[in-house]
Amino acid sequence: MASKKRVVITGMGALTPIGNSLEEYWNNLVQGVSGAAPITHFDAEKFKTQFACEVKNFDVKEHLDRKEARQLDLFSIYAMVTSAEAMKDSGLDCEKIDLDRAGVIWGSGIGGLTTFQEECFNFERGDGTPRFNPYFIPKMIVDIASGHISIKYGFRGPNYVTVSACASSTNALIDAAMQIQMGRADVMITGGSEAAVNIAGMGGFNALRALSTRNDSPATASRPFDKNRDGFVLGEGSGCIVLEELEHAKARGAKIYAELAGGGLSADAHHITAPHPDGTGAKKAMEYALNDAELSVEDIDYINVHGTSTPLGDVAETKAIKSVFGEHAYNLNISSTKSMTGHLLGAAGAIEAIATIMAVKNDIVPPTINFETEDENIDNKLNLTLNKAEKRTVNAALSNTFGFGGHNTSVIVKKYND
């Protein structure tokens, strides 16, 4: 059997609640900036939760013409913006690569929720005559983001979207890497986008009692591992990563951020929204990722955890880490960047993979902010990188993303060595 092709990261783009570019996003992560603030997208006065992590100072006219923007839901707009940044960052020339061996695998948990909401509202306001926007379906469907990206760049290789709730874009990243590893593609655009900070999104998650209701202090509401955490903070945005087969990247003299070493997938088979209390599914995903990467637990220096700031999830994940890593768990840096960005649902894995890649590249671990009070159910001897970034050598790092339905994904990146 032929050995797997090696996969490297050659381009990235980010549009997040704490930065509208890769550079701005990373700098604010390191500085420990919170992206949470009162909602501006709609009047949230009557909602239990009146704040979120919205993308800020974003003008679509700076990126797309008016006609194109009208045909896209916001989640697709975010995807187009970050893919453009990532492609520019990669230095890829579409006229010099085999477009039949270039593809797009994207991730989104919900897709065009704003479009669906608006069309329903418009129908309700009318006289009962069904007048729907002809772009209603093409704007709403989740797979359309990868379609638009492939059309823009002419990529004719594998093309689809993964949907696994909050694990969606990590699933996309792993799938995209597999296409290259198996020799089916040379270049893959991957990542995820989400735009669910709207009436339906906030109302639905409030009904689940999943969101923090710390309306008096939004900036401190996302507090993973803190005893007084009361739910996650909804976020929006996008992250895009260009993956490339190593020899293909070397042949064109591409800069290489890091190597994508392996991925692991599992299911809790336990509950539709709650994690397994012992983190058994999370444990398996991490073990599978280590095995795929052919690394030992001692090789990992940092874990970017799912860490949503929910009462059950944070406990289960730390249990899983201790189960997998044993005594080495106490040598790791662990942090939740959701403390700053909020939870981007299907886009979470993409922006957190980017944070993990940048930690490996720069030897800096971004912090878990807003920590004040220890939780007796979480081992306080673990280095949770509390409130301040830490400099350390990060040779290899793991990123976890878990989703409603019991979906677990783990991905490992490591420093590139020829």
Q: How far is CA 134 from CA 111, 119, 127, 141, in A?
A: 17, 11, 19, 13
The token duo for 329 is 């768990």
3-state secondary structure of 409: strand
Mind telling me the catalytic residues?
Answer: 166, 306, 343
| Residue in the block written with tokens 């890497």 | 177
State how far the Cα of 114 lies from the Cα of 201, in Å rounded to an integer. Answer: 9
Nearest of 340, 49, 377 to residue 208 by alpha carbon: 49
Axis crossing angle, helix 348-362 with helix 22-31, rounded to the nearest 10 = 80
Nearest of 251, 264, 218 to residue 401 by alpha carbon: 264
CA angle centred on 189, ends 185 and 190, rounded to 5°: 115
| Residue in the block written with tokens 């007048």 | 131
Parallel, antiparallel, or unpaired: how do β-strands 258-267 and 7-15 relate?
antiparallel
DSSP state of 295: -
State how far the Cα of 117 lies from the Cα of 121, in Å rounded to an integer. Answer: 6
| Residue in the block written with tokens 């942090």 | 335
Residue type, 19: G
The token duo for 92 is 């890829």
3-state secondary structure of 104: strand
| Cα pseudo-dihedral 367, 368, 374, 377, rounded to 10 | -120
Residue type, 414: K
